[in-house]
Amino acid sequence: MNSDVTTPSEPSAPQPGARPITVLLVDDQVFIGEVVRRMLLGEPDISYHFCADGAQAVRRAQELRPDVILQDLVMPGVDGIDLVRQYRSHELTASSAVILLSSTEDAATRARADEAGISGFMVKPPPKAALVARIREVTARP
């Protein structure tokens, strides 16, 4: 899988005139990118994008202006919480919801992430129903 893949969901019947929820996953594990892509494939109102390069994440997020950024916590050379702070400091991404993904839930890490401005925290890979529900929750879309 290419590290900068855009996969719109299959066409269906979203609300007339409603734009899709744009989701950007930033994760160095291409396997996780594919798992999440498949989870969101059947959601007609979600447009999925993937970035495997943490060093390019902020630039890619600024280009896309996603509604939701699914951010991996641990990536080579990049701290996921530092990326959250960078998203929050840029006008184009400051309002994007950021859901931090981690392989474990640690209270100290969660506190640091909350201070950085995350919108949610999920252990990865999250169950499909929980992920879709969280995306809809943070974007206030049914």
pLDDT in tens, 30-74: 999 999 999 999 999 999 999 999 899 999 999 999 999 999 999
Give the CATH H-level superfamily of domain 4-139.
Response regulator (3.40.50.2300)
**What is the pLDDT at residue 36?**
97
Sign of the C-alpha dihedral computed for residues 3, 53, 34 and 12 taken in this order: negative
* Strands, E assignment, 45-139: 46-51, 68-72, 74-75, 78-79, 97-102, 120-123
**Count of helices and strands (H, E) across the chain:** 5, 8
**Mean confidence (pLDDT) of the chain:** 88
Domain ranges of the chain: 4-139
pLDDT in tens, 1-21: 444 554 444 434 455 567 899
